[in-house]
A and B are shown apart, each in its own frame.
Chain A
Amino acid sequence: MTNQVTNILISGVGGQGILLASEILSEVLMLAGFDVKKNEIHGMSQRGGSVVSHIRYGKKVYSSIIPEGQADVLLGFELLETYRCLPLVRQGGSVLTNNLQIFPPPVTLGKETYPEDIPAKIAAAFPDTTLVDGLRLAAEAGNPRTVNTVLLGALSKRVDIDDTCWQQTLQKMVPKKYLEENIKAFNLGRSL
């Protein structure tokens, strides 16, 4: 009997709320009855560095790191960081990416160049690519800092899990003060 494991990779820049998004996702998956493993590096990488979070779920998961080249879905919070992670995605995998550029220090200092036309390059290799205007939708939800929840909403459509599971977990994990705008942000992402 095959043990079908689904691999979701989330990438972005430290400080963008990637860890909270992956926490919520893994909580939802556990609630839905899956074996779940989630992995990321804290510490140095929080200071504006590249951040990658691996989430794997299925009947039984061994490695918490997604085997290289086997990610089924890549959710990117920033264009360069989405692009950077493409080699980890399998052929035919889905890519969801926030349409946002954050220049890393070597680019600002003029020592390195930010790649051009990233969305087109991604779409050329991965036909199932969705470009999300996260900042605009977050503003629509009432707070530009809810971009991570918008993106989680967009991702939720690729994960076959009941809407109530998501809503329940958001209520449990998002501070009350920010709950309403986050629910709005999630629903905006989910309806893309």
Chain B
Amino acid sequence: MKRAILSGNEAIARGAYEAGVKVASAYPGTPSTEILENMVQYPTIDASWAPNEKVALEVGIGASFGGGRALVAMKHVGVNVAADPLFTLSYTGVKGGLVLAVADDPELHSSQNEQDSRNYAKFAKIPMFEPADSQEALTFTRIAFETSEQFDTPVMLRTTTRISHSKSVVSLQEQVSGLPEPSLEKNPAKFVMLPSNARKRHPLVEERLLKMEEWACQQPFNRVEKVGGKIGVITAGVSYQYAREALPDADILKLGLVYPLPKQLIRDFAANYDTLYVIEELDPFIEEQVRAMGIEVKGKEVFSICGELTPGRVEESLSGTPSEYYFSHSEVLPSRPPSMCPGCPHRSVFHSLNRLKAFVTGDIGCYTLGFMEPLAAMDTCICMGASIGNATGLSKLLSAENQRKVVAVIGDSTFLHTGINGLMDMVYNSSASTVVILDNRITAMTGRQENPASGYTLMGADSYRIDLEQLCRAVGVKHVQVVDPYEVEATRKVLKQEMERAEVSVVIARRACMLVKRDPVARKPAFTVDSDRCTGCRACLKLGCPAIEWRASADGKGVAHINGLFCVGCGLCQQVCSFDAMGVPND
């Protein structure tokens, strides 16, 4: 048997391959992104990035209706975007198995909220598996496809950051064979959800859940681990691992299917213990359902509803006292927040918006970091695509003078995800705001994934690169300008001019991300500081470039210093320095 050490995301991709998946679609989102990235190595799968999660799921549904197995992946907030097709897909059911892999982010390592996707399974009335390590991620993916076809239902597979991004040892198996050939089948009673058809499907959905609830009591993925303990624990996912660390002497009912719950199995297990805990991250999802069965459990009154669990947090919650560790700091340490990379093309746009005192409605991407000091030029951030609608709403209330200060800032990928709809509204309803599209040719924040404006696909094929200027003009924007954000003065001039305009205008700041995989941007020689010329004015520090450090000087004001290992030679600091202190040696 072949072994490999895989992350949860890699294991899901492998499981999809082994399950004979034909089509995979996703929009990148941490911590789910690597699922699709790892599909590329399996030539039997057509894997693609969709412009957003709703489209990704619709692509998966089409493939399923054609009889092929399909996997769709997204992060937790992506399900909000895909919720519309998801709920009706629950009624139609599937033809080829369809699995929606969703990665939650307790602790908000890289997200704007910590919503618990398990609620979606209950809400949409579909089953949800939750693996506790990479081996289960692989196995459950395979089982999820069988379950999908057996019960004629879409299936959700939920991970959390610590499952998606943890690596552990798995055994690999061969790909299944003998799956039916895809075909075109007309079946309007199942696939056309008009009221008359949907009304007949709803009872089937309810019956399906009851059948699964019974079936789940006999399946090996829901298992009891007995050590003859006095305490019982019901748990699932990564929390199972922490329960095993913190309570080695407890008996555990480990759930692999977190919805619907195997009620009889839970009743039989619970009957053995005076003390029964439910250990789960985020919402009391299992706990409330167990309570509703009339079983007394301890859950969220012991374990936090916010953030993720860890072995230490579980132990502390159980004992009720903070653990003491050997070493603790006797001083406050400086924080090290993430920042835009050296050479990031977003930097100068925020530098200008800060100087122009703009009120910036922001969006989701690397550029959200523009809210931090010293750039400090982002004032709102809600969800993908929200910047443009937020700007429209704000400008409806403001005086003409204040209207001019409102600028929506959005990345190329986010604009195509759901920003374009906001721009249509802005034109249609005559808003007067300015929209800046930060076009770095890539979906950078999640690790540089391709998008419809990149010019190539996930599988590496060349494709049409959406013409953003034409797209904006087509929805009715009369003033569309393109700037190179490496030209600091020119960029600021155009921004100022368009902010003053009392009509919708779009400024496209175009320059490829420094880290783009295809056509990588060449590093230029590092800049250095002439310390005789540097007056210690700190203008360069306002760029927030990680390559610029501050060193002590004889006059006490300090001087700039450029770390040659980090500097990529973008030249922004040279442009903002009034004393000509930055340069390239021998230049």
- B-binding residues in A (CB < 8 A): 13-15, 23, 26-27, 30, 35-50, 61-69, 80-81, 83-84, 86-91, 102-115, 125-126, 144
Per the 8 Å Cβ criterion, residues 1-45 of B in contact with A are 3, 5, 30-31
In angstroms, how far is the closest chain B Cβ from the Cβ of A178? Answer: 16
8 A Cβ contacts from B330-373 to A: 331, 333-341, 366, 369, 372-373
Q: How far is the CB of B32 from chain A (nearest CB, A)?
A: 11
Q: Please determine whether B323 and A69 come into contact, CB atoms closer than 8 angstroms.
A: yes
Give the docked Cα–Cα distance between A27 and B429 (Å).
58
Q: Which residue of B245, B327, B338 contacts A47 across the interface (Cβ within 8 Å)?
A: B338
Q: Are B166 and A45 in contact (CB under 8 A)?
A: no
Given contacts A64-B241, A67-B311, are A30 and B3 in contact (CB under 8 A)? yes
Q: Given A44-B109, A69-B326, do A26 and B167 touch, yes or no (CB 8 Å)?
A: yes
> In the assembled complex, which residues on chain A have CB atoms less than 8 Å from the CB atom of B271?
none
In the bound assembly, the distance between CA atoms of A125 and B325 in angstroms comes to 12
Q: Classify chain B: how many residues form its interface, as a range.
A: 35 or more
> Does B133 interact with chain A (Cβ within 8 Å)?
yes
A125 touching B327, Cβ below 8 Å = yes
CB proximity of A69 to chain B, nearest CB, Å: 4
Verify B541–A42 contact, CB threshold 8 A: no
User: Could you pull out 19 A-B pairs where Cβ atoms are within 8 angstroms?
Assistant: A39-B165, A40-B165, A42-B110, A42-B165, A45-B109, A46-B338, A63-B244, A64-B241, A68-B311, A69-B325, A80-B334, A83-B329, A86-B327, A89-B326, A105-B337, A106-B337, A108-B548, A108-B550, A109-B550
Q: A41-B109, A83-B333, A108-B548 are in contact. Are A48 and B242 (CB under 8 A)?
A: no
- Chain A residues, CB < 8 A from B133: 37, 64
User: Closest residue of chain A to B564, judged by CB?
Assistant: A144
B325 neighbours in A (Cβ, 8 Å):
68-69, 87-88
Q: A104-B337, A105-B339 are in contact. Are A68 and B310 (CB under 8 A)?
A: yes
Does the CB pair A39–B339 fall under 8 Å? no
B110 touches A44 (CB 8 A): yes
Residues of B within 8 A of A26 (CB): 5, 167
- How near does chain B come to A166, taking the closest CB pair, in angstroms? 16
Given contacts A47-B340, A68-B325, A90-B326, whether A108 and B549 have CB atoms under 8 Å apart is yes
Q: Does B544 contact A (CB under 8 A)?
A: yes
Q: B303 to nearest A CB, angstroms?
A: 15
Measured between beta carbons, the chain B residues less than 8 angstroms from A111 are 373
Q: CA of A168 to CA of B256 in the docked complex: distance in angstroms? A: 37
Contacts of B326 in A (CB 8 A): 69, 87, 89-91, 125
Distance (whole angstroms) from the CB of A60 to the closest CB of chain B: 10
Given A65-B162, A67-B312, A80-B336, are A30 and B329 neighbors across the interface (CB < 8 Å)? no
Which of B333, B366, B372 lies at the interface centre, i.e. has the most chain A CB atoms within 10 A of its CB? B333
| Inter-chain contact B168/A36, CB cutoff 8 Å | yes
Q: In terms of DSSP, what is the predominant structure of the interface of chain B?
A: loop
Distance between B323 CB and nearest chain A CB, rounded to angstroms = 7
Shortest beta-carbon contacts, A-B, top 4:
A43-B110, A68-B312, A49-B338, A47-B338
Q: Are B241 and A39 in contact (CB under 8 A)?
A: no
CB atoms of A112 and B335 under 8 A apart = yes
B293 in the interface, Cβ–Cβ < 8 Å?
no
A38 contact set on B, CB distance < 8 A: 5, 166-168
Does B446 belong to the interface (CB within 8 Å)?
yes
In the assembled complex, the Cα of A23 lies from the Cα of B5 at a distance in Å of 9
- How long is the Cα–Cα vector from A15 to B547 in the complex, in angstroms? 13
CB contact between A61 and one of B168, B242, B315, B372 (< 8 Å): that residue:
B168
Q: Are A44 and B338 in contact (CB under 8 A)?
A: yes
B447 and A42: CB pair below 8 A?
Answer: yes
List residues of B whose CB falls within 8 A of some A CB.
3, 5, 30-31, 109-110, 133, 161-162, 165-169, 238, 241-242, 244-245, 310-312, 315, 323, 325-329, 331, 333-341, 366, 369, 372-374, 445-447, 541, 544, 546, 548-550, 563, 565
- Report the Cα distance A26→B134, complex, angstroms: 14
List, in ascending order, chain B residues with CB within 8 A of A126's CB: 327
Taking the nearest CB of chain A, how far is it from the CB of B102, in angstroms? 16
B333 engages A115 (CB within 8 Å): yes
Find chain A residues with CB under 8 A from B550 CB: 103, 108-110
Expressed in whole angstroms, the Cα–Cα distance for A126 and B161 within the complex equals 32
In the assembled complex, the CB of A72 is this many whole angstroms from the nearest CB of chain B, namely 12
Q: With the chains together, A44 CA to B407 CA distance in Å?
A: 24
* Cβ–Cβ < 8 Å partners of B331 in chain A: 115
- Known contacts A36-B167, A63-B311; decide if A50 and B336 are in contact (CB<8 Å): yes
B537 to chain A, nearest CB (A): 13
Bound complex: CA of A61 vs CA of B244, how far in Å?
A: 10
Q: Given the complex, which residues of A lie within 8 Å of B340, measured CB to CB?
A: 47
| Chain B residues whose C-beta falls within 8 Å of the C-beta of A108 in the assembled complex | 541, 548-550
A42 to B133, CA, bound (A): 17
With contacts A84-B333, A104-B334, A108-B541 known, is A43 near B374, CB below 8 A? no
Question: Complex formed: what's the CA distance from A112 to B335 in Å?
Answer: 8
Cα–Cα distance between A3 and B31 once the two chains are bound (Å): 31
Partner of B546, one of A30, A105, A115: A105
* Contact partners of B337 in chain A: CB under 8 A: 49, 104-106
State which of B3, B31, B327, B338 has its C-beta within 8 Å of the C-beta of A87.
Answer: B327
Complex CA gap A91/B372 in Å reads 37
Which residues of the partner chain A approach B245 to less than 8 Å between Cβ atoms?
62-63, 67
Q: Apart from A87-B329, A112-B334, A125-B327, what 16 extra A-B contacts exist at CB < 8 Å?
A: A37-B167, A39-B167, A41-B109, A42-B30, A42-B110, A45-B109, A62-B245, A68-B312, A81-B336, A87-B326, A103-B550, A105-B336, A106-B373, A110-B550, A111-B373, A113-B334
- For B169, list chain A residues within 8 Å (CB): 30, 35-36
Cα A41 to Cα B323 with chains together (Å): 24
Assess whether A106 is in contact with B333, with CB atoms less than 8 Å apart.
no
Contacts of A65 on B, CB cut-off 8 Å? 162, 242, 310-311
> Bound complex: CA of A114 vs CA of B5, how far in Å?
38
Distance A90 CA – B323 CA, assembled complex (angstroms): 13
Q: B414 to nearest A CB, angstroms?
A: 16
Contacts of B312 in A (CB 8 A): 67-69
Please give, as numbers and ranges, the residues of chain B lying within 8 Å of A91 by CB-CB distance: 326-327
Q: Measured between alpha carbons, how far is A113 from B337 in the docked complex, in Å? A: 15
A81 to B315, CA, bound (A): 26
Q: Please name the residue on chain B nearest to A126 by beta carbon.
A: B327
Provide the bound-state CA to CA distance between A80 and B5, in Å: 31
- Among B167, B445, B447, residue most surrounded by chain A Cβ atoms (within 10 Å): B167
* Cβ contact within 8 Å between B31 and A42: yes
Q: How far is the CA of A169 from the CA of B168 in the complex (A)?
A: 17
Residues in B with CB closer than 8 Å to A63 are 241-242, 244-245, 310-311
